[in-house]
Structure 1
Amino acid sequence: MNLGNSGLSDALVILGAAGLVIPAFARFRISPVIGFILVGALVGPFGLGSLVPRNPWLYHITISDAHSIEPFAEFGIILLLFSIGLELSFKRLWSMRTLVFGVGAAELLGAGLILAAVLYLTGLSTGGAIGLGLALALSSTAIVLPIAGTTSAVGRSAFAMLLFEDLALVPIIFLLGALAPAAGGEDGWIKLAQTLGFGIVTVAILFVGGRILLPRMFAQAARTKSPELFLAASLLVVIAASLATSAAGLSPIVGALIAGLLIAETEYHGEVEAITAPFKGLALGVFLITVGMRLDLSFIVHNWAPLLGASLVVMLVKAAVTTGLLKLSGARTGTATEAGVLMASPSETTLIVLGVAGAAGLISPSTGAFWTTVTAIGLTATPVLAKAGRMIAQLIERTKGEEAPDADLAHVQAGTVVIGFGRVGRTVADMLRRHGLPYIGVDADIDNVNAARRGGYNVLFGDVTRSELVDKLNLGHAKALVLTMDDPVLTVRLTRRVRGWVPGLPIIARARDTAHAAELYRAGASEAVPEALESSLQLSEVVLVDLGMAVGPVIASIHEKRDEMRKKIKDVAGLDREPRFRRVKLDRNGADEDADAPA
């Protein structure tokens, strides 16, 4: 087999880089973004890849053709936008319309025009200055959002501006075509109008078709209980939507975002997000490696002064414009500053616009190469900018006496999480509702979920055998966890994992028998309720009452027997008499009435 023809050599380099970079940089608490870019520079065509003609053996551990893995990088960006769409909803997107089309548009146009003016003064033509200014005004969706998220105040502001930039990418490309020296007058504007018209029709079809077809398709996939089929359905949706918008002349990332939004409106969004997460991370790593491959280290060494100066000018202009606009829109000073610094570097889409400007004859090849290097340097510096922005924001907040908003908890409702929503889970939910306590149910059986939702229960579809889904349940903010699944092995495994993660969380688990209950106690359960014990106690209660015994003494004796059996089970489990985990008493609003009780 010829590795050069099959591409297995490139795959070996990429997967090897992922396997080495992520754990190595995580150990030193350094963003893997920098690691992937540095690996790309090392093994790319300007690094060790340039030595392949003299040392053929290096071929198998380097990538000499950066274009060979660009399709994988593009797919990584598509999956990233898809995952962002999964975290949103149409209601939330509509609530952000002022930020998206107000601040987002003003940020792109404001920074773009200021940079264009600076570039025009350096001697560039009007078209070239506009093209470069708009390209450099774009910020990196692929790097910024994984750092900031979409739920914090900084993340929401950054996402709104990045969303407008992604939507504006196609109009910018057609604008550069219209500004090209060889453009045919009105033809460029006519093509732009046609593309926008086709794009609007395509987006409308995706919305209507998605709302009708997606719930049915994912329901069938869920009933099979096959993770492979669920993954295939998810990838089919995102690829089909991306191809549709691409065929209409729009960016494929627009289709990916729409696909995520449509699935976010269904009860399957948690499962889809969990099952596609590993692919997104790997594909994003591939993209970052391609960014590193654009870094010509010898060019940087010989031109470090102008490259550094250009990078600083771009970052200062973008940071100032973004911070000012967010402050005018009502954002806190610290939030506006942190978002401005985070958004200061150029974007992966800057490279696309630079290529279009070069093809249109608006900039020379040497100018394009210079600003491509500036963009790669800026992308590498983004994690550093994120830390710097956070430190500056904290300093500003301390100086002004502002309290940092608890934005990450804005969408979290403290309450009880009930995993497993069959007859037992539903009964638990009934009692919680009767006492006015908030809860959320999770079940992997879509028919159970649909039936419960029709009955007015607050329940989500999800498979807790996948650790990614459990991570998204925010158990660190929950008041209690109830495990009612009829799967002894999974119950023990989940109890052990959650106990190691959230030491103070009350975990109440359903057990099949006393032996299983003892195992659950050893795994870290606060309480384990054996079905066999409870059924025998209920049967005993009915028998005693029917035999004429008074109800009060019968109930008291049942409680005494239950406590006696629990003590025996805990003794078998090897636990001390004192409870290892704090018992939490909740009031009617789900608040902890005894928050200061000792553990």
Structure 2
Amino acid sequence: MGALELTLLYLLAAVLGVVGCRMLKLPPMLGYLAVGVVIGPNALALAQNSEGVKHLAEFGVVFLMFVIGLEFNLPKLRSMRKHVFGLGLLQVVLTLVVVTIGSLLLASMAPSLWKMEWQTALALSSAMAMSSTAIVVKLVADRLELESEHGKRVMGVLLFQDLAVVPLIVMIPALSAPAEEMFTALLLAGAKAVVLITLLLSGGQRVMRWWLTLVARRKSEELFVLNLLLVTLGLAWITELAGLSLALGAFIAGMLISETEYKHQVELDIRPFHDVLLGLFFITIGMMLDWHIVVERWPLVLVLTLLPVVFKLVLVTVLAKLTGATNGVALRTGLYLAQAGEFGFVLLTLASQNALIPPELL
């Protein structure tokens, strides 16, 4: 199948998936995943998961990180610090610890059912710690609950999860290094990330404001959008050159712009790229699903579907209660955050690329 036919197939599939989900009042993300499964190599085999499409889908993650970076201005973090660095920190850390230890205990007790090293267990737990920012924020906003007690807690936890993605993206590739080199790899990756972020955030905001003002004075919308793409992909390229991820550079680009007066214009201009490319990312994720494995190993699939949701519901509800919420507020917070998130897919894909997760488990 040629490049044009493949592009038309993806666009048609995306349109049908989104229309179907809109009619059923479901999030578009489910539509993208569903059409990915249908057209993928393990179902109708209309499209193979080609390298070109994978690269395009990577840009979806880049723009998702950029949009999250835009939301991270420091005043917002300060006003929500109790929920972000209290409930959010506890949720992410406890999920990582409990799931990693639980996986290793299960592996030691039933190696025929669940066999894995601690690096794989840690990669899985990092994916499990995430909830869907895209879906939950839309749900909370549509129901006008952003300023409610549970709404503030939900937003606080989501903000911390989004922040936690950055060190997790740095950590996962380092985990695949040989045991004797792993500590050095983690330390080096962490040091690089700290140096790069400090450099960019200390002088970067002044440079960004000056540059955007210069571009805005030309009063050309086309030039402004081109400049946004250049800045986002340029910083993503710099972080990749430094041995970190594309997504980290895009996150920094978003943070730099969030402090300028052009933030809202940027959000409007970047939204179409973000939505379309992220949709493509979810289609490629759907294409990975192999029905043969689901049918052959359905008990494991059922456990991996139900257990994380129940675990996160209980964990978040208990933590919210312990941090001062009433029973109703704690339960609503838990229900909103119990599901899995789009960054779980990103982290699992990254872990798979670094040979931390076997294909059948993915």
TM superposition score category, shorter chain reference: 0.7 to 0.9
Report what 2:160 is aligned to: 161
Give the Cα–Cα distance (whole angstroms) in 2 for the partners of residues 134 and 72 of structure 1: 25
What are the equivalent positions in structure 2 for 1:380-529 lying under 5 Å apart?
none
- Separation (CA, whole Å) in 1 of partners of 2:128 and 2:248: 20
Q: In the alignment, what sits opposite 1:594?
A: none
Deviations along 1:114-171, one digit per CA (max 9) or x if unpaired, are: 2233323232345243443334333344544454468742551242232233123135
Structure 2 contact 83–157 (Cα < 8 Å) conserved? no
Question: CA contact under 8 A between 2:170 and 2:245: conserved in structure 1?
Answer: no
1:136 corresponds to which of 128, 132, 142: 128
Shift of 1:330: 3.2
Counterpart in the other structure of 2:240? 246
Alignment of 1:240-319 (within 5 A): 240-319=234-313
Confirm whether residue 369 of structure 1 aligns to residue 360 of structure 2: yes
Q: Counterpart of 1:172 in structure 2: which amino acid?
A: M
**Residue 69 of structure 1, aligned match among 50, 53, 56:** 53
Output the CA distance in 1 between the equivalents of 2:324 and 2:179: 44
Task: Tell me, in whole angstroms, the C-alpha distance in 2 between the residues paired with 1:94 and 1:247.
Answer: 32
Q: Is the 8 A contact 1:86 1:263 kept in 2?
A: yes
Question: What is the aligned partner in structure 2 of residue 231 from structure 1?
Answer: 225
Q: What's the % identity of the aligned pairs?
A: 32
CA deviation after TM superposition for structure 1 residue 307, in Å: 0.9
Q: Tell me if 1:197 matches 2:197.
A: no
Instruction: Report SS of the residue matched to 2:250.
Output: helix
> Could you say which residue in structure 1 is the equivalent of 2:65?
81
**Aligned pairs for 1:177-188 within 5 A:** 177=176, 183-185=178-180, 187-188=181-182
Q: Does 1:119 align with 2:103?
A: yes
| SS of corresponding position for 1:46 | coil
Question: Is the CA contact 1:135–1:350 (under 8 Å) kept in the aligned structure 2?
Answer: yes
The match for 2:332 is 338
Q: Secondary structure at 2:360's aligned position in 1? A: helix
Matches of 1:64 and 1:126, distance apart in 2: 31
Distance in 2 of aligned mates of 1:141 and 1:247 = 28
Match of 1:13 in 2: 9
3-state DSSP of counterpart to 2:176: helix
Q: CA RMSD in A?
A: 2.8
1:468-489, Cα deviation, whole Å (9 max, x unpaired): xxxxxxxxxxxxxxxxxxxxxx
Structure having the higher helix fraction is 2
| Structure 1 residue corresponding to 2:23, chosen from 10, 24, 27 | 27
Cα gap change, 1:210 to 1:334, in 2 (>3 Å):
farther
Larger RCO (CA under 8 A, 6+ residues apart):
2
1:77 alignment partner AA = V
Partner residue of 1:105? 89
Q: Provide closer, same or farther for how the CA distance between residues 73 and 329 of structure 1 changes in structure 2, counting only shifts above 3 A.
A: farther
Shift of residue 203 of structure 1?
A: 0.9
Give TM-score, length-normalised by structure 1: 0.53
| TM-score (structure 2 length as normaliser) | 0.83
Structure richer in strand, relative to its length:
1
The structure-2 alpha-carbon separation of the partners of 1:103 and 1:246, relative to structure 1 and needing over 3 Å to count, comes to farther
| Structure 2 match to 1:38 | 34
Q: Residue 66 of structure 1 contacts residue 290 of structure 1 at CA under 8 Å; is this kept in 2?
A: no
Closer, same or farther: CA 176–20 of 1 in aligned 2, 3 Å: same
1:144-200 deviation digits (Å, cap 9, x = unpaired):
44544687425512422322331231353156336xxxx242x22122212222211
Q: Which has the larger radius of gyration?
A: 1
Structure 2 unaligned runs (5+)? Answer: none
Deviations 1:7-26 (A, max 9, x none): 22222122222333333432
Deviation at 1:83, TM superposition (A): 2.0
Q: Following the alignment from structure 2 to structure 1, what is the Cα–Cα distance between the partners of residues 223 and 314? A: 48
1:216, CA displacement in angstroms?
2.3
Alignment size in residue pairs: 347
Structure 1 gap ranges (5+)? 50-61, 373-599
Q: Once the 2 structures are TM-superposed, how far is the Cα of residue 34 of structure 1 from its aligned partner?
A: 1.5
Pair 214,276 (structure 1): closer, same or farther in 2 beyond 3 Å:
same
The amino acid of 2:22's aligned partner reads A
Q: In 2 relative to 1, CA 193–101 (structure 1 residues): closer, same or farther, beyond 3 Å?
A: farther
CA deviation digits over 1:426-481, x for unaligned, max 9? xxxxxxxxxxxxxxxxxxxxxxxxxxxxxxxxxxxxxxxxxxxxxxxxxxxxxxxx
Structure 2 vs 1, CA of residues 240 and 331 (structure 1 numbering), >3 Å: closer, same or farther? farther
1:541 alignment partner in structure 2? none
Distance 1:209 1:189, change over 3 A: same
Give the conservation status (yes or no) of the 8 Å contact 2:209–2:260. yes
Give 1:314's aligned amino acid. P
